[in-house]
Amino acid sequence: MNVFIPHDKVLNIYFDEINKYAVFNYVYGSLGDYKQAYKIVNIQFPEAIFSFRAPTKEQLIDLEEKIIIWKKKSKIILTLNDIESHYDKGHKFSGLFKLLYKYADGVIHFGHYSLNNFKSYFPTTCQHKLINHPLYDSLLNDQEIFDYQDKFKVSFQDKYVVSAIGSLRSMEEVLLLLKVFRRIPVKNKFLVVPNMFQFINPKYLRPYRFRNIYKYIAEKIICFPLKKEQYFFDNRFLEYGYMVDLVRNSSLMIIPRIKNLNSGNLFLGLTFNKPMVIPKIGNLTEVAEYFNLPTLDLKKGNYNEVLTTVTDIKMNKIFESNEYLIKREKFHPKKISLEYELFFKSLIEI
């Protein structure tokens, strides 16, 4: 069976993990590439349909017309990576999300939080299925590894490396990250963030070199009183070979998310068995609790309790236990891939 994904691949390779074990054929393409032979249309990242550019009113009208035609021969399945766009400060994608909610025949949720809180967003005839986010198995077994320290001229020797993988999307996330880092009870701690200030984009500054100056000044102000030798920041997407090397060298990972429904960073940490500071938000909470991992309650501010636990050497014993290793199998991409296909088959039979 062919499953149509009406957008390009995104940088997050979570679905590549699923596709690796797939019996179905997943076909990426643009809106005009749809064929009646596709029994399933699976939309994973709504913004990707328009290359992460806010759609115009005319584009939304055209998309709605296409979806109505698609539904005559196909089922529309939405993978609920998030309930709203990460990139939408002005709510310019809200119309797109609402349109997809209106016509969805099925929704894949990554947790009970999502299922319980957002089921009402969809038609009563819409079918809902909880399927776990997969581990990044290919990064563990197949990914070629590149030397992060050599590439970026930074040394991890005799340092307690703390990393935050992925783009920081707001000043609130930056401030949370720094607040957590400052409270880590380890003397030789060293913070590494590959994509720290990408959200700061002063478009009004010309020429472009002034933007870098602006970011440099912002870094100095925001990071005070941290000393430069305590951190290394960059502002770019990190190739997976370097990312794997960074994660392997990390003693602790921080997930500085505040409003997210899901985070791939949690499953990256689980893939490499890394202690993490996990915020108590969205679907992250139940995954952390399933593995008996502590969560940071942003309202109660239990920073000291969480950081004392995750920096304790005993934490590593959790990742070595048979109980933990057995639980991890629930998130293996092969198992997840099968669950996707069974859900798709069940929808076709309706």
**What are the chain's domains?**
2-134+332-348 (3.40.50.2000), 137-321 (3.40.50.2000)
What Rg value do the Cα atoms of the chain yield, rounded?
21
Query: For position 205, what pLDDT does the model report?
Result: 44
Which residues have C-beta within 8 Å of that of residue 306, sequence separation ≥ 6? 277, 294, 295, 296
94-97, long-range: CB < 8 A, 24+ apart: 95/55, 95/57, 95/60, 96/46, 96/47, 96/49, 96/50, 96/55, 96/60, 96/63, 97/46
- What is the three-class DSSP state of 117? helix
In degrees rounded to 5, what are phi and psi of residue 323? -60, -45
List the pLDDT tens digit at each of the 350 positions of the chain.
999 999 999 988 999 999 999 999 999 999 999 999 999 999 999 999 999 999 999 999 999 999 999 999 999 999 999 987 765 566 789 999 999 999 999 999 999 999 999 999 999 999 999 999 999 999 998 889 999 999 999 999 999 999 999 888 888 999 999 999 999 999 999 999 999 876 665 454 455 555 566 666 777 777 777 888 999 998 888 999 999 999 999 999 999 999 899 999 999 999 999 999 999 999 999 999 999 999 999 999 999 999 999 999 999 899 999 999 999 999 999 999 999 999 999 999 87
Query: For position 212, what pLDDT does the model report?
Result: 64
CB 37 within 8 A of CB 3: no
DSSP code for 235: B
CB 244 within 8 A of CB 143: yes
Which residues have C-beta within 8 Å of that of residue 116, sequence separation ≥ 6? none
- Compute the distance between CA of residue 114 and CA of residue 162 in angstroms, rounded to an integer: 29
Is the preceding peptide bond at 275 cis, omega within 30 degrees of 0?
no
Residues linked to residue 4 through DSSP beta bridges, in sequence order: 27, 41
Query: For position 204, what pLDDT does the model report?
Result: 45
Q: At what angle do helices 303-310 and 171-183 cross, to 10 degrees?
A: 60
- With CA atoms as reference, report the closest residue to 258 among 273, 233, 235, 277: 277
- Compute the distance between CA of residue 135 and CA of residue 132 in angstroms, rounded to an integer: 9
Which residues have C-beta within 8 Å of that of residue 265, sequence separation ≥ 6? 164, 165, 166, 253, 255, 257, 276
- Compute the distance between CA of residue 135 and CA of residue 150 in angstroms, rounded to an integer: 28
- Compute the distance between CA of residue 165 and CA of residue 264 in angstroms, rounded to an integer: 10
CB 58 within 8 A of CB 88: no
